[in-house]
Structure 1
């Protein structure tokens, strides 16, 4: 028995034309497709514009935490996603020389929270979202780069101006065009590039067969777990994909890329040299690598306002709050954004500016504080993982051990783990309850939207009464 019940699957709503919005979503990444699914399920029409010549997803592995798998399951994707998912048993924290520091029982947490930890190849997750959006009626257009947004004088619609001269009008336009978002700059009316964090990521995929052939490495495939090696100025993460076909490795090191580049081809020998002296298992794994890419890691500090005053344009996902990947929550926050936006748009009863603005205000209020916390904690994990050997490192490692012992006790009381907690804690293994798990993993999005919607209604009624 889990302590929290699994989510209910959303039923598709049939909506009267008088309250059915036409929503244009700019960007067919994970966040844009998630928003399309949520908005279609609550009865609106959706068109997705993608600048690329075909819709697909690059990259390698992605971790989906229970707060995110809850959303995917609620969108009717559990059976499709389970075919591609790996369910790791533990998340292990390991010192850079190979010494065990602490672990988290992911299966026990998943059981307590009612939804699992899943690991995917990004392409599989993206394809499942794309197929579901199309199944629900999304219209998709590739080679459709949006350059500007224009607002109707009556403030009821907006028009997306495309680079090829086409134009598309909508009741609402959602900018989900990722970390290098042009629509963020359109909303602000000025350039606003992503902020470098000083780190870059090497991302590599290794054929599991090569690791199974090595007696020292085969356990990584046979017993899927998430492993973090942490050390001076760098760390490494790995986990299994596609049920044991691929091994995903991400190496996080100081950024030496040109300022204007986001992705470049990496040098395998240079990458291997950065981990000389580390746990010999890392060296053995890296020796199996043939080629690699480097990705500059940037963040997007949140904006004061995500939404245009007309109520016809808003932002979502990495365009507004890109984070370091050190909480494994960039995708999760984008999926939550899409779900929250759908739930808020479910509440409208007409297409008026007032109704759309209220829905977007509640959406923004629901998402802003939470995503800011994720960005801040991701920055803190960067510091925690990269401490040099010495006093601070020894203090951190003591906390790993102490909170690990506390966590073992908590697992005897799974109802406690499922109980939301507002505060962040000092546990350096972040997803455990006394790290950020109490507010990140145990979050109830639908309850949050309902509560904030009621508060907005009460405020509006109070304002109306005071005018009378």
Structure 2
């Protein structure tokens, strides 16, 4: 599929029992529900196990970049999400005092790539995924905490053992239970907690009506854009949700939370004090906030092997490669994982161990290096966004302007296209072409699966499948 081509909508494959897998997905978050959709479209049966007592999603805003909106469209969700999305015009880089540094034309990129930038309230995206999974036939069971995985001696099935003693067997179990994954630890056979990054996030939602009443703030609502303020040891991000009803603000600051805590209630006055001296508009926005939560930001370095040697278990999403949110790509990588595993399982012609192992090897080959690059670049952005004033900061800001000028030249030609590239560039605004946009935004999961499938078929006889 050429750059700029609209995605095709996948049609559900009809299978006979000889090639239809029974798949259990552990975790009903964005990645788990995405995997359910993708695997159901591949013609298999899916049961989703969720440890919580009800299906829901916490959090606030989430950004979906063109590489992942392409997947949502492929899953038949374009009409379902239309009423929930905001399509921001620019991404702006702003100095901590309020000085404009650079911007990215998100609409121009969307036109060149053939798919949009979307901003969601996380709960709306989650509901759309859940509804689509159920529509396709997913069985979702709550209050189902998996405490062990057992593998059959014949290597054909695995069994999820639940906290109530119930056992459920499947041809394949997919661990999509998030950053605090129990399934990852079961796979490794040892404790493996997430790694703190030294940052935390304050996440808050502001009623847009209050901002519209302020002449200095109303333009943030009336002309939706993504704004990054970058400064010493901290940065702030905001964008509009639900078509202008809500304003999402995320503040990224040094972590002062207890070691074991992942989420705690925050103190509004303490939060406001951290941004004293910054752009006065930030202070005005923060004064509209009544309550806030703090989230510890952690990462998950990838594993040498995501998949059990039997071909009956694998991992997906934050459970295997959680990243800092500084590329806005945690959700995107989980959706790509979900799409890739579904496309790989779509190629099965029987339920043999050989075919399942091959499918999971292709899945891992497609996802491992790419997700490692996202985690690595997220760590780089942590430094770039938090530089103190001085020579390094001046050099960063000079690059932002230079690459902004280069970026604008990309769209001088009518119907400009963004050609894929593999290397990363030095642009501190990472989504742009000369940052990581050349490989992050242009990714086509269908093409990748096809290419990797052919490569692995060529070498399958030369070495083991896993």
- Fold shared by both chains (TM-score > 0.5): yes
Partner of 2:239: 239
Q: Deviations over 1:180-213 (max 9, x none)?
A: 0000000000000000000000000000000000
Contact 1:103 1:404 (C-alpha < 8 Å) held by counterparts = yes
Q: Is the counterpart of residue 49 in structure 1 residue 52 in structure 2? A: no
Equivalence map 1:34-433=2 (5 Å): 34-413=34-413, 417-433=417-433
Contact 2:3 2:419 (C-alpha < 8 Å) held by counterparts = no
Q: Distance in 2 between matches of 1:441 and 1:366?
A: 16
Q: Deviations over 1:1-57 (max 9, x none)?
A: x96111000001101100100000000000000000000001000000000000000
Contact 1:64 1:117 (C-alpha < 8 Å) held by counterparts = yes
Q: Distance in 1 between matches of 2:413 and 2:327?
A: 25
Q: Distance in 2 between matches of 1:115 and 1:461?
A: 39
Q: Deviations over 1:335-377 (max 9, x none)?
A: 0000000000011111111110000000001000000000000
Shift in Å, 1:461: 4.8
* Bigger Cα displacement from structure 2, 296-305 vs 451-460: 451-460
Contact 2:265 2:292 (C-alpha < 8 Å) held by counterparts = yes
SS at match of 1:140: strand
Q: Distance in 1 between matches of 2:162 and 2:332?
A: 29
Q: Distance in 1 between matches of 2:157 and 2:462?
A: 29
User: Residues 3 and 176 from structure 1, CA distance in 2 versus in 1: closer, same or farther, beyond 3 angstroms?
Assistant: closer
What value does the CA root-mean-square deviation take over the aligned residues? Answer: 1.1
SS at match of 1:428: coil
Equivalenced residue count is 463
Partner of 2:454: 454
Contact 2:66 2:441 (C-alpha < 8 Å) held by counterparts = yes
Q: Distance in 1 between matches of 2:188 and 2:45?
A: 27
Q: Distance in 2 between matches of 1:39 and 1:463?
A: 27
Q: Distance in 1 between matches of 2:293 and 2:414?
A: 41
SS at match of 1:83: helix
Contact 2:4 2:417 (C-alpha < 8 Å) held by counterparts = no
Contact 1:417 1:442 (C-alpha < 8 Å) held by counterparts = no
Contact 2:424 2:435 (C-alpha < 8 Å) held by counterparts = yes
Q: Distance in 2 between matches of 1:282 and 1:398?
A: 24
Taking structure 2 as the reference length, what is the TM-score of the superposition? Answer: 0.98
Shift in Å, 1:132: 0.1
Structure 1 runs of 4+ aligned residues shifted over 3 Å read: 413-417, 461-464
Contact 1:417 1:438 (C-alpha < 8 Å) held by counterparts = no
SS at match of 2:431: coil
Q: Distance in 1 between matches of 2:460 and 2:224?
A: 51
Q: Distance in 2 between matches of 1:411 and 1:177?
A: 41
Runs of 5+ consecutive residues of structure 1 not aligned to the other structure: none
Contact 2:56 2:123 (C-alpha < 8 Å) held by counterparts = yes
SS at match of 2:4: coil
Q: Distance in 2 between matches of 1:461 and 1:258?
A: 52
Shift in Å, 1:415: 6.4
Q: Deviations over 1:31-87 (max 9, x none)?
A: 000000000001000000000000000100000000000000000000111110000
